[in-house]
Amino acid sequence: MYKNIIVPMALDHGIADKTIEIARTLLSEGGQITALHVYEAPQGSVGAYIDEGVVQNAFDRAKAKLDDRVASMPGVTAVIVKGHSGRTIIDTATSLKADCIVLGSHKPGLIDYLLGSTAARVVQHAPCAVHVARYPS
């Protein structure tokens, strides 16, 4: 059983409800669950053409959506962080001293074999236990 579990959440699909349920099963009495959304701002030359206010507005909308989803999940704290998904999940787990990360993963496609999936990066570099729930893509 774990006392501090992070559940990374993408806001565009329903896998998070299942991973939160898994986290609750693995949680020790008195433990905490953090729902983490990583907001990936436009990178490289694309970012140079997008107004900073537009990016902030998108971040604020993502935060509101995360807060809304977590509102119906008692005992779950919402955290949103800007960054690259794999690296930011690992960094957040380190800074929050998480002892487990529970994340969903789809069946790998060809691009995942070439570049690697977020779940694979987290499993390889996480400072704690990782529980990966496989779901069809």
pLDDT at 96: 97
pLDDT tens-place string over residues 51-89: 888 889 999 999 999 999 999 999 999 999 999 999 999
Residues 6+ apart with CB under 8 A from 48: none
Mean pLDDT, the chain, integer: 88
**For the chain, what percent of residues have pLDDT higher than 90?**
64
Q: What is the CATH number of the domain that holds 88?
A: 3.40.50.620
Number of domains in the chain: 1
pLDDT tens-place string over residues 31-55: 999 999 999 887 767 666 788 888 8
The domain of 47 spans 2-135
- Residues belonging to the chain: 137
Q: What is the mean pLDDT of residues 91-99?
A: 98
pLDDT at 55: 85
Neighbours of 3 (CB within 10 A): 14
Strand ranges (E), 9-127: 27-39, 76-82, 100-106
DSSP 84: -
β-strand partners of 129 = 100
CB 35 within 8 A of CB 20: yes
